[in-house]
Amino acid sequence: MVRVIMHGCNGAMGQVITAMARDMEDVEIAAGIDLRNDRENGYPVFSSLEECDVQADVIVDFASAKAVDGLLDYCEKTHMPVVLCTTGLSEEQLKRAEEVSASAAILRSANMSLGVNLLLKLVKEAARVLAEAGFDMEIVEKHHNQKMDAPSGTALALADSINEGMDQAYHYVYDRSEKREKRDPKEIGISSVRGGSIVGEHDVIFAGKDEVVTFSHTAYSKAIFAKGALEAARFLAGKKPGMYQMSDVIG
């Protein structure tokens, strides 16, 4: 049995993961961490990791970017593995995660979905063919009106995957309103839409002369991310210190 501390247990994703874990035979939410404690989750909830006295194998984090600093400090001190799902992290926080991975196993992914992680591979391969043939590349992402960060971590991961396949030859453009000039052939445009209850949509557009190739992924519920996070927790429990990715989970 893998015992999990749910960091951000009373947030939207924390509640989805809590519900899903109840139906899993080999994963158990042993405790939760959240500043708000107004729900009955079936496990003890603490306001901080330092207050938590429950034994566990791994932390699953779906809290907020501002809570990640303390989380990483805790994992460095205790060597506790963590599935780091929170998006919108700063460059300093990402660097800090790399440092902490010398002391604890850290699995970080901009998106926990199996489909998205397959898409990351596909767009890298497509770019090597289509970008070389002169296709322009654009990414359009859509999310609900409560999402704090823009562009989404997944959109940036898709751009990074493309750029990796192209030897980092491209730069990213998020806003064209202040310039009046033709599109730079070496740019990847990233556009964000926020509205309603859209769970998550990502389109990667390869636009060439007289033809367009589009890769699309649509999330219809948060359950796909919860499933991925719990699979990652099961994978990471007991692992040696280091940085891991969802590609390690799905093999």
Would you name the residues annotated as active-site residues? Answer: 143, 147
Whole-Å CA distances, 100 to 76, 82, 94, 95, 138: 5, 10, 10, 9, 34
> How far is it, in rounded angstroms, from Cα 192 to Cα 140?
6
Report d(CA 176, CA 167) in Å as an integer: 24
**Helix spans in the chain (H):** 12-21, 68-78, 91-100, 114-130, 153-165, 223-236, 246-250
Element (H, E) at 6: strand 2-7
Q: Which two tokens stand for residue 197?
A: 């209850």
Phi, psi of 82 (to 5 degrees): -140, 135
Cα–Cα distance for residue pair 150/156, rounded to 1 Å = 9
Whole-number Å distance between alpha carbons of 199 and 167: 32
Question: φ and ψ at 5, to 5 degrees?
Answer: -100, 120
Residue 48 main-chain phi, psi, to 5 deg? -155, 160
